[in-house]
């Protein structure tokens, strides 16, 4: 299979990859195969081969919302090197592999508004749409007009906003992971770049004070229950600062798990399960995981 993968044009394959480099938790795990694809044709050819060989795969964005539970991922990890960007007034077309934070900062500096919330969001555009990433009472569903996807039958089609079923931290793509985002079109507003960047910098300072951004983490662990805050529930359940292995509930914000070098994904998963059980027992609230566990 490896020889067949190497024969695909516009594709780079690496073996025995250290996933600490590819996850914001800095998880001590290994990926057997990592394929970086530069074209849509290469992606289709790779997926067809993996289907023929019955090999599992996973699209890997910025690694900012995932937990590799096991020390080895036996399937094929795929990174999309789709980073085209076209800015036509307030109409933006961008590849799924483009950095969300980089795009947001670039557009804010150019005086575009509506994407300020994403300046603190790590990962790729494809991943942000998949998870409907958001902050400050906004999310990708407010700015994405349409996307191009690769369907399970290897057809490329366009999906409009209303078809993408954007809801709090979820989307059509998340509930249908065999559809792969290739690129997106966004509609933004225009404003004063100095005022926009002043807002961005103010929010950055507040995040630095309230969130443990100096440590490896993957952002918020759980969704906020309706009318409540996951961080407060976790703190009230006695978990603030709690360690399990090399994973720890942040003392700054209890809805963040931070990690030490050499952390295993199983440490994070165990800590998550302990929190869920205790919050359910104490408050009869079922916390919903915002992050994704990969077996």
List, as one string, the DSSP characters of 85-126: EEEETTEEEEETTSBHHHHHHHHHHTTEES-GGGGG--SBHH
Whole-number average pLDDT of the chain: 97
- Going by the DSSP 8-state scheme, the letter that residue 155 receives in this structure is -
Q: Which residues of 216-235 are buried (b: 16+ CB within 10 A; e: fewer)?
A: bbbbbbbebeeeeebbebbb
Q: Could you give the CA distance from residue 72 to residue 28 in angstroms, rounded to a whole number?
A: 9
Q: Could you give the CA distance from residue 248 to residue 290 in angstroms, rounded to a whole number?
A: 17
- Going by the DSSP 8-state scheme, the letter that residue 53 receives in this structure is H
235 annotated active-site: no
Nearest to 132 by CA among 153, 104, 161, 106: 161
Q: Could you give the CA distance from residue 66 to residue 153 in angstroms, rounded to a whole number?
A: 26
Q: Could you give the CA distance from residue 90 to residue 118 in angstroms, rounded to a whole number?
A: 16
Question: Beta-strand (E) ranges in the chain?
Answer: 11-18, 30-37, 57-59, 66-68, 72-80, 85-88, 91-95, 112-113, 134-135, 138-139, 144-150, 156-160, 180-187, 189-190, 243-244, 247-249, 257-259, 292-294
**Catalytic site residue from 45, 146, 169, 185:** 169
In this predicted structure, what is the pLDDT of residue 22?
A: 97
- CB distance 257 to 221 below 8 Å: yes
In this predicted structure, what is the pLDDT of residue 42?
A: 98
**Catalytic site residue from 64, 217, 220, 266:** 220
Q: Could you give the CA distance from residue 192 to residue 112 in angstroms, rounded to a whole number?
A: 8
Place of tokens 């804010």: 108
Partner residues linked to 190 by β-bridges? 112
- DSSP β-ladder status, 30-37 and 72-80: parallel
Extract the tokens encoding 86: 């076209």
Place of tokens 């990592």: 34
Nearest to 279 by CA among 228, 238, 224: 238
In this predicted structure, what is the pLDDT of residue 290?
A: 94
pLDDT along the chain (295 residues), means of 10: 94 97 97 98 98 96 96 97 96 98 98 97 97 95 98 98 96 97 98 97 95 96 95 98 98 98 98 98 97 95
169 annotated active-site: yes
- CB distance 158 to 195 below 8 Å: no
At residue 74's C-alpha, the angle toward residues 14 and 21, to 5°, is: 50
In this predicted structure, what is the pLDDT of residue 77?
A: 98
- Going by the DSSP 8-state scheme, the letter that residue 159 receives in this structure is E
In this predicted structure, what is the pLDDT of residue 30?
A: 98
Does residue 241 come out as left (phi exceeding 0), alpha (psi in the -120 to 50 range) or beta?
left
Place of tokens 């575009």: 112
- Per residue in 106-139, pLDDT (tens digit) is 999 999 999 999 999 999 999 999 999 999 999 9
- Cβ neighbourhood burial of 131 (10 Å; 0-12, 13-18, 19+): buried
Q: How many residues does the chain have?
A: 295
* pTM of the shown model: 0.94
Percent of the chain with pLDDT over 70: 100
Q: Could you give the CA distance from residue 66 to residue 248 in angstroms, rounded to a whole number?
A: 16
20 annotated active-site: no
**Catalytic site residue from 45, 116, 185, 290:** 290
């Amino acid at each position: 299979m490896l020889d067949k993968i190497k024969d695909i044009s516009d594709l780079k394959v690496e073996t025995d990859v250290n996933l600490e480099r590819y996850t914001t938790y800095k998880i001590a795990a290994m990926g057997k195969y990592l394929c970086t694809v530069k074209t849509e044709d290469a992606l289709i050819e790779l997926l067809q081969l993996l289907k023929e060989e019955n090999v599992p795969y996973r699209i890997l964005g910025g690694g900012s919302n995932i937990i590799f539970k096991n020390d080895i991922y036996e399937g094929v990890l795929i990174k999309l090197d789709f980073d085209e960007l076209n800015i036509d007034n307030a109409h933006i077309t961008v590849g799924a592999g483009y950095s969300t934070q980089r795009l947001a900062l670039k557009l804010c500096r150019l005086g575009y508004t509506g994407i300020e919330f994403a300046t603190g969001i790590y990962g790729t555009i494809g991943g942000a749409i998949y998870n409907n990433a958001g902050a400050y009472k906004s999310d990708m569903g407010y700015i994405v007009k349409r996307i191009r996807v690769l369907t399970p039958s290897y057809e490329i089609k366009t999906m409009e906003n209303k078809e993408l079923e954007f809801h709090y931290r979820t989307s059509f793509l998340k509930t249908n992971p065999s559809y792969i985002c290739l690129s997106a079109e966004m509609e933004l507003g225009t404003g004063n770049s100095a005022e926009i960047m002043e807002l961005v910098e103010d929010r950055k300072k507040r995040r630095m004070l309230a969130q443990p951004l100096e440590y490896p983490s993957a952002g918020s662990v759980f969704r906020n229950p309706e009318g409540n805050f996951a961080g407060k529930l976790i703190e009230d359940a006695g978990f603030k600062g709690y360690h399990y292995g090399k994973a720890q509930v942040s003392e700054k914000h209890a809805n963040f798990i931070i990690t030490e070098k050499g952390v295993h994904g199983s440490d994070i998963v165990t800590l998550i399960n302990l929190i869920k059980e205790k919050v359910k027992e104490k408050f009869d609230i079922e916390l919903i995981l915002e992050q994704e566990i990969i077996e």
